[in-house]
Structure 1
Amino acid sequence: MKWTGRYEGYRASSFRKDIVSGLIVGIIAIPLGMAFAIASGVKPEYGIYTTIIAGILISLLGGSRYQIGGPTGAFIPILFAIVLQYGYENLLIAGFMAGIILVIMGVLRLGALIKFIPRPVTIGFTAGIAVIIFSGQIVQFLGLTGTVKHEHFLPNMKEIATHLSTFNAYSVATAAICLAAMLLTSKYLPKIPGSLVGLIASSIIATLFFKGHVATIGSSFGAIPSSLPHFHFPDMTWDRVQTLLRPALVIAMLGGIESLLSAVVADGMTGARHNSNRELVGQGIANMAVPLFGGIPATGAIARTATNIKNGATSPISGVVHGVAVLLILLLFAPFASEIPLASMAPILMMVAWNMSERKEFMHVLRTKTSDSIVLLITFLLTVFTDLTTSVEVGLVLSVILFVKRMSELLTVTKVLPDSADKREKVRAHIVSESHDCPQISITTLDGPLFFGTAHRLEKAIRDTFRLRPHLWIIRMSKVTYMDMTGEAKLASLATDFGKHGGIVLISGIQPQAMEVVKKTGLHALIGDDRFFAHTGDAIDYALRHLESAKCIGCQHFAFRECQALSKGNAQ
């Protein structure tokens, strides 16, 4: 049987590969799902529910053949802050609203816009999130007691320092065993999930030798139910919607970024191409469904997606299998999960933080010592010491400001004249001098974008150039790559002012985008249709025909080849 679309060429052998990869990713996803949920301030089973529901729906409805969806580390600081500030029920509402926002973004085809978020911003907040996740696991790793979780980094660090004397040697030993098992497995048995080996090994040892001395999932959160989650629609009111709109936007934005980044990684590994808008719709539907069963927000998981591909996945079926595998394990083995020590979860999340930190990219951008380095560092510091919303907002605004500043330096305004030494008499800037500059015709070359960030440069350069008031002004615009309304307004102001003194404005080589702007604003009609030329040579010929001949007599500038005759009083 041969299917089309994302299942084109799908056969029995493909299904076998999807089964294997789906099972492997499902096994990996279980400890991660529980760990992410605990770190987000909710019960571990909610992470499992999210893995099941979101995993299946994102694979079926998303825009990538290989995407694995579920709870991710990137969400931890956001979700924890929402739970702390608004409570678990409101987290469900915020997640549901984020799903709606993602669907709207996909329907409006805004998937491409997310790709325009500057790389230094994404690296900065990703590294910041990694620091928060890593530092947040120190309490569980050391087994500290009496600590209170806070929303921000510094108060949490203060809690650790204050309660450092309460560390539990059994917890440290359990965490160390888990970490060692993970590292050894990844080194010597790379095809076996290190997190699962570490979790099982440390749990068995803790149960046999440290029982009663280390906190477990069961002792801290109660037994994990071995049943399907119950359907429950959150109690949404208009007041709650208004209050939670900002958190929902943050969840949607981060979910969109993470899912599309994961899809891009999958494309790079397979040569496939994802549909970004369909991906957003799929992510949105999944995030609308997950809260109805008590789950937390989900997105594309880069590490699990990469693992899915490396283990031979061929279609979205592998993602569905991964969700079903987690469901079966929940139904069959949930009681055993209650015995997992919290200290065993800490090194798993620490490793997640280490892997997602993008430390090499971070240092690479930092070493460039450019404006991107500033954006990266500020976004990183604000993520760690304030919150993700503030850091992304400031990072984006700062990126825009620095981008406009860089772009404002790209526009050059140069006075030029024909080079008589050139057979084609191309215009060049170095030809212009005090003794070789036509008093009646001024030719200006604009090179670069003419927009709100560069308009002031145009005015200043022109004012400086027009020491003598010429009769004709030729503006060469073939190199103006873009013009906005501010640039047009500045050009119109200069042209109008020039015309008030009897001057004639001629424009050559204007590009289609800029021509469309001047036609819409009326500047084209103001200058005159007959004063727009495709080539500078045609504009110069027009200008020479409209010279004031009397002023040419005796002129020694000889800016044009016709000047010799005009200087002697000979008509053209």
Structure 2
Amino acid sequence: MSRARRSARSLAQSARALLPSIQDYRLLPRTWRGDLVAGVTVGIVALPLALGFGVSSGLSAEAGLVTAIVAGILAAVFGGSNVQVSGPTGAMVVVLVPIVATHGAGAVVAVTAIAGVIVVAAGALRLGRAVSFIPWPVIEGFTLGIAVIIFLQQVPLLTSPHTVHAGDHSSNAIIAAVQSVAEADWSYVPWSLGAAAIVSLVMLIAPRIHRALPGSLIGITVVTALALIIATPLATIGALPSSLPSPSFPSLDPSVIGQLLLPALTVAALAAIESLLSARVAASLADTGPYDPDRELVGQGIASLGSALFGGMPATGAIARTAVNVRSGGRTRVAAITHALVLLLVVLVISRPVGAIPLAALAGVLMMTAVRMVHASTVRAIITSTRADAIAFVITALVTVSFDLIVAVIIGVLFAGVIAVRSLSRQTGVRREAISGEAVDGDERIAIIAIDGPLFFASADRVFEQVASLTDVSVVVLRMSQLELVDATGARMLADIIQSLERRGITVLIKGVQPLHDGLFRRVGVLDSLRHHNHLFTDLPAAITHARSHIARELAA
């Protein structure tokens, strides 16, 4: 078979791996009952969240529902996880609020479409494993920051019956919350706080009565019923459509695309990170089969594109809903598809009653969701682990709340990377060893230098300073049998050491070059820096004998 044909065949196989397959449903004959039950359960849990996230984003409850339905189905079919449940999430809402404030609600559809294309491209380029480079403290700091923002974003819903539009307040959640309190309608606040408190209380009590009780939906139902019975000033969701909107391509004005590209990149990065983290968590909850991170990206990108066609918002994998799916018995994609169909049924059958839900009740659901995102035991474990991890956690959380989610992740990863490199560099050992056995005249002129551990760019200068500063010696034996990681900078530094010592008239011998380092040493010039090819040894006694012969000639002269 020719190389071109093999390449084409490999490319075709790689492309097929990113597409749906009948094998995705091989367990369905055994799991379909559990999948249907799990799908209905997740649909009930997802309803108030989809409505709430749609409202909190600055769009509408309809946008949240449309996203949960359309993206939920597409991500389930095309994604790389058997149990991932996708839709609108709190993290995405945090990103969308400033986009709506800056560019208007109409720009979200275009941003969603552009982000979808970017995420599909990332999957096609096999970038799915990149999430493994994000350290755990950074992920948890990111989660804490998102939880704080989601909680604060509900404050405007509790302080005024009037819908807060993008641009009315700052895009920063802390400042917006303060502004809302300063402008609060204090005759309205007791009603809204009461509604939110009832929902929160039900969400706390329901799981204690029975684990399967949907506390958020029960709480919302109770508050809605009370609001219909008692005359209250509580603002409601309002009229919802009784069907999905007709699909249409978002208008992408070339002059506007440039302005939306950076927001779209932010949305795409967040969608990728959150979806891959959720899929990874789901794979650890139960034996649901492996997940394909590259296919997951393709699926999430297609889901966002589909959501944009129906006027929705960007979609991501939802960790909480995915966990409910797995714990409720979901094992195949049918569970996530069922969840989306349950939400579609809500739109087709009971959209009118849903429109009567008070916004304060949704705020209560999202506030409790935010609180449950943060686990005290996890925070305690990170804070008490190492100082570097604790600092990475705190910095990521603070930057998330104060500035930007993606910037927070980048800063957190960079900080953790710097600390990891610093820690790794400290493992590089440079020490002078004594010559074993009976001493010979002139042994004090021989320096055996053992270099062990990783030798790379972060430790190269320190090693150079320690070795090149040797004095009162005539021969230096570099022991390298314990070297681990060596990069080009470390290898080049060894060549510089040899050249520096040789210029001073000090003979350099090398002992114990490992086979995995031999090629790099030859390419970078380490071995060529030796005065003679006989100055390379495989065992220490032979190197010492050769060094003593140099000293003997020096003493004889």
Q: TM-score, normalised by structure 1?
A: 0.87
Which of 56, 71, 82 is equivalent to 2:99?
82
Match in the other structure for 1:438: 443
Match in the other structure for 2:509: 506
User: In structure 2, do the counterparts of structure 1 residues 336 and 529 end up closer, same or farther at CA, with 3 Å as the change threshold?
Assistant: farther
Which region of structure 1 is more displaced relative to structure 2, 443-452 or 397-406? 397-406
Give, in whole Å, the separation in 2 of the partners of 1:291 and 1:505: 67
Which of 194, 199, 221 is equivalent to 1:178?
199
Contact 2:270 2:406 in 1 (8 A): no
Match in the other structure for 1:383: 400
Match in the other structure for 2:414: 397
User: In structure 2, do the counterparts of structure 1 residues 131 and 192 end up closer, same or farther at CA, with 3 Å as the change threshold?
Assistant: same
* SS of equivalent to 2:454: coil
Provide the aligned C-alpha RMSD in A. Answer: 2.5
Match in the other structure for 1:522: 525
Match in the other structure for 2:473: 469
Contact 1:144 1:163 in 2 (8 A): no
Give, in whole Å, the separation in 2 of the partners of 1:9 and 1:172: 47
Query: Over residues 378-406 of structure 1, what are the superposed CA-to-partner deviations in whole Å (9 max), with x where a residue is unaligned?
Result: 22112112222332232233223222322
Matches within 5 A, 1:30-41: 30-41=47-58
* SS of equivalent to 1:505: strand
**1:205: Cα distance to partner?**
0.9
1:334 aligns with 2:334: no
Give, in whole Å, the separation in 2 of the partners of 1:387 and 1:419: 60
Match in the other structure for 2:265: 249
Contact 1:508 1:534 in 2 (8 A): yes
Give, in whole Å, the separation in 1 of the partners of 2:283 and 2:379: 23
Match in the other structure for 1:557: none
1:156 aligns with 2:161: no
The one-letter code of the counterpart of 2:278 is S
**1:146: Cα distance to partner?**
8.8
Structure whose alpha-carbon radius of gyration is higher = 1
Give, in whole Å, the separation in 1 of the partners of 2:237 and 2:132: 39
- How many positions carry a matched residue from both structures? 531
Which region of structure 1 is more displaced relative to structure 2, 531-540 or 382-391? 531-540
Contact 2:206 2:214 in 1 (8 A): yes
Matches within 5 A, 1:253-332: 253-271=269-287, 272-332=289-349
Contact 1:144 1:166 in 2 (8 A): no
Give, in whole Å, the separation in 2 of the partners of 1:539 and 1:5: 61
**1:358: Cα distance to partner?**
3.8
Which region of structure 1 is more displaced relative to structure 2, 39-48 or 149-158? 149-158
Match in the other structure for 1:450: 455
Give, in whole Å, the separation in 2 of the partners of 1:512 and 1:5: 44
Give, in whole Å, the separation in 1 of the partners of 2:535 and 2:553: 23
User: In structure 2, do the counterparts of structure 1 residues 530 and 27 end up closer, same or farther at CA, with 3 Å as the change threshold?
Assistant: farther
Contact 1:120 1:375 in 2 (8 A): yes
Give, in whole Å, the separation in 1 of the partners of 2:420 and 2:171: 33
Match in the other structure for 2:494: 491
Give, in whole Å, the separation in 2 of the partners of 1:361 and 1:206: 38
* SS of equivalent to 1:150: coil
Which of 539, 543, 550 is equivalent to 2:543?
539
Q: TM-score, normalised by structure 2?
A: 0.89
Contact 2:474 2:507 in 1 (8 A): no
**1:249: Cα distance to partner?**
2.2
Match in the other structure for 2:387: 370
Query: Over residues 334-378 of structure 1, what are the superposed CA-to-partner deviations in whole Å (9 max), with x where a residue is unaligned?
Result: 111111100110111011111112443223222345022112112
Give, in whole Å, the separation in 1 of the partners of 2:41 and 2:509: 70
**1:173: Cα distance to partner?**
2.3
Give, in whole Å, the separation in 1 of the partners of 2:441 and 2:382: 48
Give, in whole Å, the separation in 2 of the partners of 1:176 and 1:20: 30
Give, in whole Å, the separation in 2 of the partners of 1:183 and 1:9: 35
**1:283: Cα distance to partner?**
1.3
Query: Over residues 278-318 of structure 1, what are the superposed CA-to-partner deviations in whole Å (9 max), with x where a residue is unaligned?
Result: 11121122122211111111111111111111111121111
Give, in whole Å, the separation in 2 of the partners of 1:350 and 1:234: 33
Structure 1 unaligned regions, length at least 5: 422-430, 554-568
Structure 2 unaligned regions, length at least 5: 1-20
User: In structure 2, do the counterparts of structure 1 residues 538 and 44 end up closer, same or farther at CA, with 3 Å as the change threshold?
Assistant: farther
Give, in whole Å, the separation in 1 of the partners of 2:518 and 2:58: 57
Contact 1:411 1:457 in 2 (8 A): no
